[in-house]
Amino acid sequence: MDGLKHAWTMFNPPSAAKSNNVKEDHWQDRGPGYVIRPDRNQFRSNVDKHMIVSILTRIAVDVADVELNHVRVDKNKRFLGEINSKLNRCLNVEANIDQTSRAFQQDIAMTLFDEGSCAICAVETDLNPDGNGGYDVREMRVGKILEWFPRDVRVELWNDRKGVRETLVLPKELVAVVENPFYSIMNEPNSTLKRLVRKFNALDIIDDELVSGKLNMIIQLPYATKSETRRQHANDRVRDIEFQLSQSKQGIAYMSAEEKFTVLNRPLDNNLLAEIEMLTNLLYTQLGLTESIMNGTASEEEMLNYTNRTIKPVVKAITQAMHRTFLSKTAISQDQAIMFFQDPFALMPLSKISDIDDKLSRNAIMSPNEIRTLLGMRPVDDPDAETLRNRNMPIESDTIAADPSLALEEGQNET
């Protein structure tokens, strides 16, 4: 009602508002405004300037594709069903007012790769989490850890109520602290990723010098420049040529017959590009990546290796941190858990999917409606489509209806 009332007063003249005893509300302070999203975590290093950001984004997008759920398990830790809780809504619908669940997971992964660790904080709960273990999480945000204490961490978080970033000291038991499983590869000072960043920065410096407008020429004068006077004459000659080139529309300067110009048309050769290529291949190997994965032409075996070696360790670190922090001991004793699920048919061609679906249905592992859901099709309103049975075998009732003597024989045997 407040939103409708505000919209009504904005689109009606003041006289109409006063005549209807409605409070005039033509302007409302909505907090600070920004041109770009201020809640987005920015890269601390310079990886966003190079091809490295494409590698990290590819991994983060694949991490966000994995589904996280607040579930109930049996005594053997097997999945039974989802729990309709606020925490499960944060993991599947929206984590906060600015981020969906998918954007939230990608934010976790990108912060993890850039910082080496991150803090998943419950910014809104139904109960006070301090001293109360039975609270439910309503909103979550990703924070950067600025300082470590024995039992606390200093975290930088975006406050969507005030529109600013705030620094808070929070106890570790209330914050899901996630560490990058590939910390020694990505975040150590002399790790492969950091060395590659430094090589790219050196390459950028060389490129800036090449395109800075310098002529890179050597002037050979007809006299020796050992004395101070001759060196002064040489400097005057250089300044004169610079003045001529700057004042000429076509960039033309004159020289005497005794002078010679030598143009340095290329920089000195170095091994920088070879080192960058070597470090890039080394980074791919250590992260379980290949060129075909990056350009989308990877085979099923390559994607399976990439999923098991790269994606699964990151997702498992995230789920274990949430499981430890946001589920109390009572909830864990009640067989609650946070689990991740991957689509097993995402990378399979249709020919293989049809063969696997036939085997799953024939062995009563999946019902037809469950298979239709995996294929992106709507379930059918047929009770038989919800049953688990072998479709290649006849139903007992249909067999008896076709041959009543079978029922009689069966009854005689039972007698």
Do 122 and 169 belong to one domain? yes
Do 130 and 54 belong to one domain? yes
Helix residue ranges, H only, 11-51? 14-19
Q: Are 66 and 343 in contact (CB under 8 A)?
A: no
pLDDT digits (tens, 9 = 90+) for 281-314: 999 999 989 888 888 888 888 888 999 999 999 9
How far is 109 from 185, CA to CA, in rounded Å?
A: 15
Position 89 confidence tier, pLDDT thresholds 50, 70, 90: very high
Mark which of 242, 273, 304 sits at the end of a domain: 273
Do 193 and 318 belong to one domain? yes
Do 269 and 280 belong to one domain? no
CB atoms within 10 A of CB 277: 11
* Order of all β-strands in the sheet with 117-125: 164-171, 152-159, 137-148, 117-125, 175-179
pLDDT digits (tens, 9 = 90+) for 308-352: 999 999 999 999 999 999 998 888 999 999 999 887 777 677 777
Do 16 and 59 belong to one domain? no
pLDDT digits (tens, 9 = 90+) for 4-44: 344 434 444 455 444 455 444 545 667 777 777 777 777 76
Could you tell me the two tokens for 14?
A: 């003041």
- Per-position DSSP letters for 209-270, written without gaps between them: HHTSS---EEEE-SS---SHHHHHHHHHHHHHHHHHHHH-SS------TT-EEEE--SPPP-
Do 98 and 149 belong to one domain? yes
Do 70 and 182 belong to one domain? yes
pLDDT of residue 353: 75
pLDDT digits (tens, 9 = 90+) for 138-193: 999 999 999 999 999 999 999 888 888 999 999 999 999 999 999 999 989 888 98
Do 139 and 175 belong to one domain? yes
Do 175 and 256 belong to one domain? no
How far is 94 from 396, CA to CA, in rounded Å?
A: 48
Do 56 and 143 belong to one domain? yes
- The yes-or-no verdict on residue 415 having pLDDT over 70 is no
Segments forming the whole domain that contains residue 10: 1-30
Do 92 and 164 belong to one domain? yes
How far is 337 from 186, CA to CA, in rounded Å?
A: 30
- The yes-or-no verdict on residue 381 having pLDDT over 90 is no
Domain total in the chain: 4
pLDDT digits (tens, 9 = 90+) for 204-259: 777 766 655 666 677 777 778 788 888 888 888 888 887 887 787 777 777 787 78
Mark which of 273, 295, 327 sits at the end of a domain: 273
Do 320 and 181 belong to one domain? yes
How far is 158 from 161, CA to CA, in rounded Å?
A: 9
